[in-house]
């Protein structure tokens, strides 16, 4: 279950949109390849993210009870033409205003189709907050800009990612997550810069019946330690395990086994 409020998620989406717009208007090369999403240029990534926001706006605003194909969402592909940072920035800003307005008007309990979890607008507020949090990291890495994220958002993004992988393992038989089974093996994530009130530690167990997880300080086969933002990005495969500030203790192969298969989303 989400630990943050609906208003917190909505506010974070708005803030992340502003931060992503700052990347667009920073003078960065929009045609540059995104290292963590090598099939995309920076402009492709921004168009993908803005399109996702407009898609969710359409779902929430209409209280959709089934999926809406993206091609039916106005301007989901972005502004006409390419390479125009001003037009891309304006379109992205409008995309954020639309989805945040729709989510705030709906509140967290409005019934809306969702691909997992509880089919409510609250699902989408949380999902979009973390979708743009991670994709902004992709954008800043491509542009060579610094990246930071609020600790409560980073910790909740890790919770949500573990829930998504767990859902994929149980519901998508062809997803690589189905192979995340290694009885006796476990992964401990430990954010070294978070206060005790955040409880920013996780244990992931790879049992014969599937993976399970919980918050807390417990020993495991392998541990990934470092600043919370770095742990989040490494666990999302946005940073290498040997990135500055990160430390892997124990059987590194178990962590690599996870990262190779936890690919959904």
pLDDT (tens digit, 9 = 90+) per residue, 154-213?
999 999 999 999 999 999 888 999 999 999 999 999 999 998 889 999 999 999 999 999
pLDDT given for residue 2 in this prediction: 52
Distance CA 176, CA 246 (A): 25
Helices (H), the chain: 6-24, 42-62, 85-106, 121-143, 151-171, 228-235, 252-261
pLDDT (tens digit, 9 = 90+) per residue, 197-255?
899 999 999 999 999 999 999 999 999 999 999 999 999 999 999 999 999 999 999 99
pLDDT given for residue 1 in this prediction: 45
| Six token digits for residue 238 | 């946005």
Contact criterion met (CB below 8 Å) for 95 and 57: yes
pLDDT given for residue 264 in this prediction: 66
Distance CA 204, CA 85 (A): 42
SS3 41: strand
pLDDT given for residue 263 in this prediction: 83
Distance CA 90, CA 102 (A): 18
| Six token digits for residue 257 | 């086994």
| Cβ count within 10 A of residue 113 | 17
Distance CA 163, CA 166 (A): 5
> In the structure, what pLDDT confidence band is assigned to residue 39 with cuts at 50, 70 and 90?
very high
Q: In this structure, what is the dihedral angle of CA atoms 265, 21, 144, 44, given to the nearest 10 degrees?
A: 50
| Cβ count within 10 A of residue 74 | 9
Q: What pTM, to 2 d.p., does this model score?
A: 0.95
Which domains are seen in the chain, by residue range?
Answer: 6-143 (1.20.120), 173-261 (3.30.1050.10)
pLDDT (tens digit, 9 = 90+) per residue, 105-138?
999 999 999 999 899 999 999 999 999 999 999 9
């Amino acid at each position: 279950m989400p630990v943050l409020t609906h208003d917190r998620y909505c506010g974070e989406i708005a803030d992340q949109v502003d931060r992503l717009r700052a990347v667009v208007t920073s003078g960065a090369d929009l045609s540059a390849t995104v290292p963590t999403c090598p099939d995309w240029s920076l402009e492709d990534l921004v168009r993908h993210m803005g399109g996702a926001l407009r898609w969710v706006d359409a779902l929430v605003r209409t209280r959709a009870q089934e999926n809406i194909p993206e091609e039916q969402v106005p301007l989901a592909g972005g502004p006409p033409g390419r390479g125009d940072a001003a037009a891309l920035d304006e379109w992205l800003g409008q995309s954020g205003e639309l989805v945040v307005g729709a989510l705030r008007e709906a509140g967290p309990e409005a019934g809306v189709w969702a691909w997992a979890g509880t089919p409510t607008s609250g699902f989408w507020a949380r999902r979009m907050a973390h979708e743009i949090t991670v994709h902004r990291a992709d954008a800043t890495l491509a542009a060579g800009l610094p990246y930071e994220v609020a600790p409560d958002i980073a910790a909740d993004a890790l919770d949500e990612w573990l829930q998504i992988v767990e859902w994929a393992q149980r519901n998508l038989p062809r997803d690589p997550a189905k192979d995340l089974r290694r009885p006796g093996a476990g992964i401990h994530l430990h954010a070294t810069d978070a206060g005790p009130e955040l409880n920013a530690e996780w244990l992931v167990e790879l049992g014969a019946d599937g993976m399970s997880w919980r918050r807390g300080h417990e020993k495991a086969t392998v541990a990934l330690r470092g600043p919370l933002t770095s742990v989040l990005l490494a666990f999302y495969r946005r940073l290498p395990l040997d990135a500055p500030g990160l430390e892997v203790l124990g059987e590194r192969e178990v962590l690599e086994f996870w990262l190779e298969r936890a690919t959904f989303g």
